Amino acid sequence: MSFKQYKYEKELTDLQKKESPDGSTCLISLYVPPDRAIAAFVQELTEEIGTATNIRSKFTQKNVVSALRTVIGKLKLYGNKSPSTGIVFFAGATSDSGHKDFKIESYVFEPPEPVSRKLYVCDNRFHVEHLLDRMVEKELYALLAIDSAKATIATLKGGNIEIIKSTRSGAAKKHRKGGQSSVRFARLREEAVARFMKRVADELKNFFIEAPDKNLKGIIVGGPGQIKEQVIEYFDKRLKDKLIGIKDLGYGGDQSGIRELVSESQDLLEGVSIMEEKKLVRQFLDAMMANKANYGEKEVRENLKMGAVDTLLVSKGLNLLRMKSTCLNCSFLQEATIKFEEESNYISEIQKTSCPKCNTLKWDIEKKDLILNLGYLAEETGARTEIISDTTEEGRQIQSFGGICAILRYEIEH
């Protein structure tokens, strides 16, 4: 995931948590589809202001009217028509503002994908789910790793591999038992493997055809020997139409086979996020061998400030905050990285701590998601930032280095 995508998703998820101060329906969500006449929406919202003056609660009335006027003002900045992907507006006083410090918050998005429908909602929360749903990677691949003893069916969607089912053939091993003729043994084994392949083909049909996923991009089959080609003969025609590749594997039909199948299918999965992550992690490990990489927050932060970082790799599962405390009397600054759950205790401790420079107790405390903090620092020096999933094998490799890694532009003496 790019830093731009992460910022977009982070802002939306933060908005999703906001609520109106008293539970009243006073937060505005407006979705404007592409190339729509702005004047029509301005007129509609102006009429809504007239309706809102009938609201009994003065606080709610003021909130709704102010939010509508804010949106109208921002709408007019777009001229005659909405942009090619549309516009989405959110506005209102949230519980973060409170009753005493009444303040309208407003947010404007030009989404990466076109807004599919017009939507106007006045509710106790912002309706961001329509934008978040469109961020989910929709293309789905079906994976089958098979040998004569076992088969595993899995799906690949974005950076996530999900095992759907593993099944055993029940076929005897190639060495016959005593008391059986070799011809009879071979025939019985061949029949058992054939029944197994038909059963696997039926499982695939049930998962992906009878209960279809409209976003199924393709099916990839892999395994050792000839069985990977033989099982395809049992495929429903609709399964065959979705077949995009057959790969020879060293592993058999277990989960290791699925992982190898993904690794061997780079040519078929070009552009899928898991393949992009594999390339990035491989580049980082190669750079480590060449002494052109670093890891750990302190070391990477120093490299970023020096302008030495080419690519910053950060685990999406960091869940850390960068705290910045500034003395309001003398501007003394201190920073720290803490866990999300430590925020309230940290702020409480800072507020009770005297400034080491002027001995006052007046602090301005800012917080920022650590990924955003590092990403903005990277932007200042032209470094690329990539967010690595925390659910994949590659993500676990990045986590083993503390979740913060850097590919450097040049060799650094440590």
Structural domains in the chain plus CATH codes: 11-133 (3.30.960.10), 140-175+192-270 (3.30.420.60), 279-408 (3.30.1330.30)
Render pLDDT for 114-171 as a digit per residue (tens, 0 to 9).
898 899 999 999 999 999 888 776 678 999 999 988 999 999 887 788 899 998 887 6
* Residues of the chain scoring pLDDT < 50: 99-100
Alpha helices in 119-253 (DSSP H): 129-133, 182-205, 227-230, 237-242
Helix (H) / strand (E) containing 339: strand 333-339
Please choose, from the candidates 282, 267, 260, 247, the residue with its C-alpha nearest in 3D space to the C-alpha of residue 161.
Answer: 260
Cβ-based neighbour number of residue 128 at 10 Å: 21
Residues 193/169, Cβ–Cβ less than 8 Å: yes
Render pLDDT for 204-221 as a digit per residue (tens, 0 to 9).
998 888 766 667 888 999
Distance CA 357, CA 283 (A): 45
Q: Identify the pLDDT of residue 354.
A: 92
C-alpha torsion sign, points 50, 51, 52, 53? positive
Distance CA 168, CA 196 (A): 8
Tell me phi and psi for residue 156, to 5 degrees: -125, 120
Please choose, from the candidates 106, 101, 79, 104, the residue with its C-alpha nearest in 3D space to the C-alpha of residue 93.
Answer: 104
Q: Identify the pLDDT of residue 388.
A: 92
Residues 4/379, Cβ–Cβ less than 8 Å: no
Helix (H) / strand (E) containing 39: helix 38-52
Q: Identify the pLDDT of residue 209.
A: 84
Residues 387/2, Cβ–Cβ less than 8 Å: yes
Residue for token pair 């197994």: 196
Q: Identify the pLDDT of residue 374.
A: 96
Q: Identify the pLDDT of residue 404.
A: 96
Residues 132/12, Cβ–Cβ less than 8 Å: yes
| 3-class SS of residue 277 | helix
β-partners of residue 101 are: none
